[in-house]
Amino acid sequence: MIKKLLVSFLFAIGLLTTNGLSAQTACTDIVIPDVFTPNGDGINDLLVITCIENYPDNSLTIYNRWGEVMYQAEGYSNNWDGRGEKNKSDVPDGTYAFIFKAKMGGEEKSLTGSITITR
């Protein structure tokens, strides 16, 4: 009886471990939102890139329409709140271009697109 319980217990641990691992490794697809709202209301206030925790070796650069760098980060960790690089004040509402680079599967890949800030 005790042995049977022990086996069940170990089996349960095994399931937990397997589930934990699969939950961690399942997140591989980088998804960069096309809009966020850094107005301090606690909803969608930061530029959150899905699965970025699995790609710590990354860089993110945000440009305005004139090609000026508005924000730049090495090892971006989902903490951009829409404030500019230079004077740390809010960048104007509008659409910005981004270049996101990350090592994926041993090679560096770039993702580009646009992000709209609306407050």
Q: Which residues pair with 31 in a beta bridge?
A: 50
Q: Closer CB to Ca ion, residue 102 or residue 117?
A: 117
Measured from the CB of residue 80, what is the shortest distance to Ca ion in angstroms? 13
Residues 14-73 touching Ca ion, rule: CB under 5 A, are 37, 39, 41, 43-45
Element (H, E) at 71: strand 69-74
By CB under 5 A, residue 81 contacts Ca ion: no
Measured from the CB of residue 100, what is the shortest distance to Ca ion in angstroms? 21
Whole-angstrom distance, CA of residue 102 vs CA of residue 74: 10
CA 63, distance to chain mean position in Å, is: 18
Residue nearest Ca ion (C-beta atom): 37
Measured from the CB of residue 43, what is the shortest distance to Ca ion in angstroms? 4
Q: Closer CB to Ca ion, residue 36 or residue 55?
A: 36
Number of shown-chain residues binding Ca ion (CB under 5 A): 6
Provide CB contacts within 8 A for 8, sequence distance 6+.
none
Tell me the CA distances in angstroms from 73 to 19, 37, 64, one per residue in order: 33, 19, 15
**Interface residue list for Ca ion (CB under 5 A):** 37, 39, 41, 43-45
